[in-house]
Amino acid sequence: MNLLQYKTIVLKIGSSLIVDSKNKIKKNWFTKLIEDILFLHKHKKKVIIVSSGAIALGCDLLKINKKNVKLSQFQAIAAVGQIELINLFKKFFEKKKIKISQILLTLDDTEERRRSLNAKETINNLLKMSVMPIVNENDTVGTSEIRYGDNDRLAARVAQICNADCLIMLSDVNGLYSQDPKKNQFAKIIKKVEKIDKKIENLATKSISAYGTGGMITKIKAAKICMQSGCDMILTNGSINNPIKNIAKNKNFTLFKAKSSSLNAKKQWILNSLSTKGSISIDDGAEKALLNGKSLLPIGVTAVEGTFKRGDAIYIINSKKKKLQPEFQRTLVKMLKKLKDLKQIKLKKY
């Protein structure tokens, strides 16, 4: 596997890699990880880190057992642990004279177009100044309905927003297995996935996914976001020393190969939005027009479902009650004066 083919690499680091089973920092592993990042820098690769660990480090500092904690407590614990996490990166990167930055994102920051563009701009400016961007979810203000909860999908969305061409997901699993490796000795790592279909989704059953916050299910969701955005995703076990350099030698990983995407950045962003606020149904004429690249006019809208406002992503359903094919499946509401009056809805062509 040649990682040097990529230009911009997002590196997702799971909590379990940073700390051992006793919540103690794995210093040697950290030093080796930084070596790997320097190797990528030496080859002019842009690197963005998405790292978990705020809650694990917060629990350690406050001597709290993670198992007994409610979400509201997690928010407070993350506020403590995020300082530990970023200081840890600072300490290790400083030794190599690399400056770091902290970017805390909420779900809204990636799901609202303007805010996602701001995040992209900030990350790009940091990269231009040779500062390492280190992203995490802003766990302190996230409630259950408005948070990612897992950094897998956050990392994929960051990769998509920043036009990265590779997301390396360093996890505590070797890759996606054909069966549960704990139960079946013949389980094999699937080397390459080119399409995420029901068969692949079914592999991420609960039994194979008892790893990390999101498990395999969110890893597959993350892969889907990446693949639809022209970004390859590599899922590998990051717990070994020099986890990135090892991808080249080690055959234990799954490559989720992106299709070359014909969609522009904005369409990719809409397609991968995590929260759709409703749907509109359209007639056959409107569907035909849309598939031919024309705008959707209010006259073709037959029904509206959900409550949405300007800027929200919504699904488009055809007369057979099916979502339109992925690239036409969603649209952004441009202007919405009165929900009840269909004639007042102006939908933006995308």
Q: Which residues bind ligand GLU (CB under 6 A)?
A: 15, 52-56, 136-137, 139, 150-151, 212-214
21/262 with CB nearer ligand GLU: 21
For residue 223, the minimal CB distance to ligand GLU (Å) is 15
Supply φ then ψ for residue 230, to 5 degrees. Answer: 70, 25
84/201 with CB nearer ligand GLU: 84
For residue 139, the minimal CB distance to ligand GLU (Å) is 5
What DSSP string runs through 267-278? Answer: HHHHHT-S-EEE
* The residue to which tokens 């699904």 are assigned: 315
What's the token pair of residue 225? Answer: 């976001």
137/312 with CB nearer ligand GLU: 137
155/296 with CB nearer ligand GLU: 155
H-helix or E-strand spanning residue 79: helix 71-94
For residue 71, the minimal CB distance to ligand GLU (Å) is 12
The backbone region for 202, taken as left when phi is positive above 0, alpha when psi lies in -120 to 50, beta otherwise, is alpha
For residue 194, the minimal CB distance to ligand GLU (Å) is 26
53/175 with CB nearer ligand GLU: 53
For residue 155, the minimal CB distance to ligand GLU (Å) is 9
Residues 6+ apart with CB under 8 A from 179: 186, 187, 188, 203, 208
For residue 56, the minimal CB distance to ligand GLU (Å) is 6
88/290 with CB nearer ligand GLU: 88
For residue 150, the minimal CB distance to ligand GLU (Å) is 4
**Residues comprising the chain, all counted:** 350
Long-range pairs for 178-183: beta carbons < 8 A, 24 or more residues apart: 178/203, 179/203, 179/208, 180/205, 180/207, 180/208, 181/208, 182/207, 183/207
- Angle ∠(16,19,21) on CA atoms, nearest 5: 80
CA 139 vs. chain centroid, Å, equals 15
55/280 with CB nearer ligand GLU: 55
Supply φ then ψ for residue 156, to 5 degrees. Answer: -65, -40
- What is the rounded distance in angstroms from the CA atom of residue 177 to the CA atom of residue 173? 9
150/232 with CB nearer ligand GLU: 150
For residue 111, the minimal CB distance to ligand GLU (Å) is 17
